[in-house]
Every structure is written in C-alpha cells, then in structure tokens.
C-alpha cells in the first residue's frame, strides 16, 4: 500500500478536478493507487451527477469543430444551468471535445430514446433474421436481438458511443463527470454534422439535430 501523501492528493486533484477530501478518501480506498483512485472518483461523480439530471438547463454554448482540410465540420449546442459555468474552461473543453467526437464518430441520434420507431423496428428485424440464419435456437433469439440492439445504440447514439479520446468512457459518462465537477446539470441539446459533397444528408437533415432536452 502506497503512502497517501499531500503530493499524491494534489496530483489526483489536478487530474480530476475533485475536492481535496474526496481525493484523499479515494486514494485511501485505492491503497494509494492513483489510477484506481481516479476510477473511484469517476464512479462517485457519475452517481452524484444523477441527482442533478432533472434540473433545467437554459444557458450554455454553441461550439464548432472543423477538421483539418476543411472538408468536415460540426456544430453542437450544449446546455448548462448558469452563464457562469458556460464561461468556464471545463465547460468549453467539453463542448469542443463533443464537437470533435461527433466529427469522428458520426452519430445519428443523441440518445437511445431518440431512435425512431421505424429505424428500431428495422434493426430488430435485421438482428432477428441474422440470428436465425446463424442457426441460433428460437428460445434465445430475443436475448441475442437485445444484445445486438445495445451494440447498435453504441454505434449510432452519441451518449452511448465510446468517447474518441478515452474509449473507457462513453460520451454520456464524460458529460456526467463534468456535471459532478461543475455542480450543474448539463445536456447535449442538438448537433449537425457537415461533410463536403454529402448532399443527400444535407437535404434530409441530421437525425441528431433534435430539440433541446436536458440530459444527464
């Protein structure tokens, strides 16, 4: 067990933005292992963030990301509770990171609940037909379909996607760590992704550009 020194607490605070007492507690429980302590803080942060998920988010920022070469760009609106938090470096970093993630991962929807009934029914039919074609027993097909739907959500829903800069976190979990750190509810309201020459997408509109709904 490594000694929990003041320097170790300071290092963990700089890495996570958590308070001194929370960092010390996490390091004690993690027996001085800073990586394990950071994971503990994330878990605690995500748990506390859930308590803020119903609070209104009427402030925020519209952020942009233009990929090198100018062939791909994103606009995203992320909301918080106060103008003060919207002006913080942490919130600005979140907006930039989410915009960059959207450029890289090309989500179609913000959250699972946004997937249209038509798209969901189509994916269920595909997953069921695939399972039967693979010779899976009828009694386990429904379970297989549910598992493949979860994978589908991770591919197309922004909050379910692994964050491109740190795949151990989903984008939803990333947002929750910021909620815990900044002390306010934060929600991704809408986004649009532009790609040069993608005329069909421009005419159809972005599936991800939905109404502003607070989301933890």
Question: How many Å apart are CA 204 and CA 176, to the nearest integer?
Answer: 31
H/E element, 60: strand 59-66
- Model confidence at 12: pLDDT above 70: yes
Domains of the chain: 6-51 (1.10.8.10), 55-107+158-204 (3.30.479.20), 116-153 (1.10.286)
pTM: 0.69
* Average pLDDT estimate for 52-67: 87
Contacts of 97 (CB under 8 A, 6+ apart): 163, 165, 174
Report the mean per-residue pLDDT for the chain: 85
Higher pLDDT, 46 or 5: 5
Higher pLDDT, 35 or 92: 92
Lowest-pLDDT range, 47-61, 142-156, 166-180, 192-206?
192-206
CA distance between the termini of the chain: 36
DSSP state of 71: S
- Model confidence at 180: pLDDT above 90: no
Higher pLDDT, 47 or 179: 179
């Amino acid at each position: 067990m490594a000694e929990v020194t003041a320097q170790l607490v300071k290092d963990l605070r700089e890495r996570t933005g958590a308070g001194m007492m929370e960092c010390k507690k996490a390091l004690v429980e993690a027996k001085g292992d800073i990586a394990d302590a950071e994971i503990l803080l994330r878990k605690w942060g995500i748990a506390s963030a859930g308590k803020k998920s119903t609070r209104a988010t009427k402030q925020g920022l519209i952020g942009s990301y233009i990929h090198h070469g100018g062939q791909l760009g994103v606009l995203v609106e992320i909301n918080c509770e106060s103008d003060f938090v919207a002006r913080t470096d942490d919130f600005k970093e979140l907006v930039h990171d989410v915009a960059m993630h959207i450029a890289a991962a090309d989500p179609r929807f913000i959250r699972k609940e946004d997937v249209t009934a038509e798209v969901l029914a189509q994916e269920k039919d595909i997953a069921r037909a695939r399972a039967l074609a693979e010779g899976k027993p009828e009694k386990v097909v429904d379970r297989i379909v549910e598992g493949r739907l979860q994978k589908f959500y991770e591919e197309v829903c922004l909050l379910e996607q692994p964050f491109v800069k740190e795949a151990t976190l989903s984008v939803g979990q990333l947002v929750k760590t910021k909620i815990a750190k900044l002390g306010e509810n934060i929600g991704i309201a809408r986004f649009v992704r532009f790609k040069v020459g993608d005329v069909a997408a421009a005419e159809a509109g972005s599936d991800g550009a939905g109404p502003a709904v607070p989301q933890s």
